[in-house]
Structure 1
Amino acid sequence: MSRLFNVCLIASWYSSNIGVLLLNKYLLSSYGFKYPIFLTLCHMMACSLLSYIAISWLKIVPLQTIRSRWQFLKISALGVIFCSSVVTGNVSLRYLPVSFNQAVGATTPFFTAVFAYLLTFRREGWLTYVTLIPVVAGCVIASGGEPGFHLFGFLMCIGATAARALKSVVQGILLSSEGEKLHSMNLLMYMAPVAVLVLVPAAFFMERDVVGITISLARDDTKFIFYLLFNSSLAYFVNLTNFLVTKHTSALTLQVLGNAKGAVAVVISILIFQNPVSVTGIFGYSITVTGVFLYSEAKKRSRSN
């Protein structure tokens, strides 16, 4: 029974992670809803509401309170970085195919290592740094062979990848003391409203009349409301299933699944969106994925030593 539960949990993790990515692409590109900031705002509002319900009502994890103004400021800083990573990621999906988006996103370990060194002066073993060479080289090769390459989309994707890495490093620095450590679900509950406060003025100033356009689309096509609500809910369930998979299996399992998720998302997106791919692009992405796997192994060995 436990094994069946874990299988269902992993299937849910894959479905939510890949589902939100593909639905974001569909809404922003194929459907023609060209408002990534407002879409991210919907995601963050859903995360705020569903996090509160899950923790305060359903008691999925114990509620942790913010203990000081300084801790609140730290969480707010993380919320802004978190928000930036999601917005730039969604903007990139307007211009880039999911397959290339995932190839660039796979370079996260490189940015994590860079920020860890710049902010904490923490050095990894030489073997760990060597494994980052194919991670970056593969991305460069994939970029050169990408038929749908778009410079602005590429820069946004790099920005999203760097912001994700920065958040993980900054989180380790700011919330490292025992008194300030927050459970991932509690952290999301506090970060999401901060992101909403940032995104509301950004959406209204940078995406003029987006509310009116959204209402008009909903009147013309009732399915659009379902797409938006389902997509926003999926954004929360990505975080929920991340937590549940780690809780019922291990962080290592989540890492392995994450490495495989990109490849699965690439295959499914190509089948759905029929975007052209080149042999060079596939070769470059394969090198990056291999580099990520080697990086994970090198990190494991350095920890055991």
Structure 2
Amino acid sequence: MNNKMNVRMMTSKDSLIFEGCQIVFLCFVWYGVSAAGNVIVKELLNDFPFPLTVTLVQLFSVWILSIPLLHFWKVPAPEYLYQNRIYYLKVIIPLAIGKFLAQLSSHVSLWKVPVSYAHTVKATMPLFTVILSRLILREKQSLSVYFSLLPIIIGVIIATVTEISFNMVGLISALLSTFGFSLQNIYSKKSLKDISIHHFALLALLAKISWCLFVPFWFFYDGIDIYYNTKYHSYGPAKKIFLYLFIDGLLNFLHNVVAFTMISLVSPLSYSIANSTKRIVVICISLLILRNPVTNTNVIGMSLALFGVFYYNKAKYDQRRAQQKEHIIPLVRSEPSLNTLNLGTIKFTHPDTDLISRHHPSYHTSRPFYNGSIPNYASKTYKNI
């Protein structure tokens, strides 16, 4: 039995190491795909200023490319949604509309302002998350969490005041995009919990509904302008734009798949930290490749906002630890007269077979179940670290 337990512990340890390597690899892919996607979108919108078209191409790419992905992963169909049309109308369709509007606002902001500034403004996501969680979920935050929002707000204000390529439409679009994605994250997690739908299935469903709802508007808005603009009729510019749209659609699909996979592998706090690090990578790479001009004060504002995001994540972690202790301590205090358990006395009073048969009936045997200590990693995954 001891050998079996040793094998089980080694297997758990190997599984944890493999999962850690998998997460590190996914982070590198996530950062690279996100940075490349933002640079491609910026270059595309400079030559092809139609953010609605870019948004619809991305949604269509996610929808179509998700079909083989769902078959490969053998993801079951969300039967509950097909049976409950009220939930479909009340939650899924508003989520799809929100996803489209948030994505469209993000593209408008990238069109109007530099990538570095757009992502600095998007660092305000913790602010929107705190406000929306208070209004929707009635969640209260600790004082340190509220205090951590100050450097984010001050940093964004400094970056805004000193931004050389400032544009009011770009600022408002970036804020609307951040608000939309914060709202979408809250309701997406609620949907995943309520109807037990696979995250890939939800991603494909939202992309399909968004595209079907808004593609008619494209014909009357972007479609007419593109048709009558002779600049895009020649082979050279049209080829470049189609190539950029294809690459952008593929990168956006990969970004969504990796992001949803990260959500399923790690805790919300770890995901927030990884997402904050990704924002830094995107800003740095965009500054190196696109070379948009920035001032020292502008860099200080960006750094302060990003520092505030990390401080927010640390404050949220401390708050969760404190809440866990509050749940544990009352149980301990309620039994002050508990005597210290003596393992020898227990074994003398109750033989090993009696103890095992009560608590582990599937391992009923005449030998002790396990006489050592199980390391911490044997019962942990990165989901609860």
Equivalent position to 2:132, from 115, 120, 127: 115
Structure 1 residues 7-86: aligned runs within 5 Å: 7-29=24-46, 32-55=47-70, 57-59=71-73, 61-65=75-79, 66=81, 67-73=83-89, 74-86=91-103
CA distance, structure 2, for counterparts of residue 152 and residue 169 of structure 1: 26
* C-alpha contact (below 8 Å) 1:104/1:139 kept by paired residues: yes
Decide which structure has the larger Cα Rg and report it.
2
Aligned residue for 1:181? 196
* C-alpha contact (below 8 Å) 1:138/1:284 kept by paired residues: yes
Aligned-residue offset at 1:218: 7.3
Equivalent position to 1:302, from 316, 319, 327: 319
- Percentage of pairs with the same residue: 26
Equivalent position to 1:288, from 305, 311, 314: 305
Aligned-residue offset at 1:45: 0.5
Letter in 2 for 1:204: F
Aligned-residue offset at 1:229: 0.9
Aligned-residue offset at 1:75: 0.8
Aligned residue for 1:201? 216
Aligned residue for 1:255? 272
* C-alpha contact (below 8 Å) 1:16/1:238 kept by paired residues: yes
Are residues 253 and 194 of structure 1, via their aligned partners in 2, closer, same or farther at CA, if it must alter by over 3 Å? same
> How many correspondences in the alignment?
300
Structure 1 residues 81-92: aligned runs within 5 Å: 81-92=98-109
* C-alpha contact (below 8 Å) 2:151/2:308 kept by paired residues: yes
Letter in 1 for 2:100: C
Moved more, 139-148 or 218-227: 218-227
Instruction: Tell me the SS of whatever aligns to 1:58.
Output: helix
Letter in 1 for 2:56: L
Aligned residue for 1:155? 172
CA distance, structure 2, for counterparts of residue 192 and residue 218 of structure 1: 31
Aligned-residue offset at 1:4: 5.6
Aligned pair 1:237/2:254, yes or no? Answer: yes
Aligned pair 1:98/2:115, yes or no? Answer: yes
CA distance, structure 1, for counterparts of residue 66 and residue 221 of structure 2: 28
Equivalent position to 1:135, from 152, 170, 177: 152
Q: CA RMSD in A?
A: 2.3
Segments of 5+ residues of structure 2 without an aligned counterpart are 1-16, 323-385
Letter in 2 for 1:225: F
* C-alpha contact (below 8 Å) 1:37/1:202 kept by paired residues: no
Aligned-residue offset at 1:210: 5.0
TM-score (norm 1): 0.90
Letter in 2 for 1:235: N
TM-score (norm 2): 0.72
Segments of 5+ residues of structure 1 without an aligned counterpart are none
* C-alpha contact (below 8 Å) 2:145/2:312 kept by paired residues: yes
* C-alpha contact (below 8 Å) 2:269/2:317 kept by paired residues: no
CA deviations 1:7-52 (Å, max 9, x no partner) are 43322111211121111111002xx100000110000001111112
CA distance, structure 2, for counterparts of residue 139 and residue 112 of structure 1: 16
Aligned-residue offset at 1:257: 2.0
CA distance, structure 1, for counterparts of residue 312 and residue 234 of structure 2: 46
Are residues 177 and 245 of structure 1, via their aligned partners in 2, closer, same or farther at CA, if it must alter by over 3 Å? closer
Aligned-residue offset at 1:285: 1.1
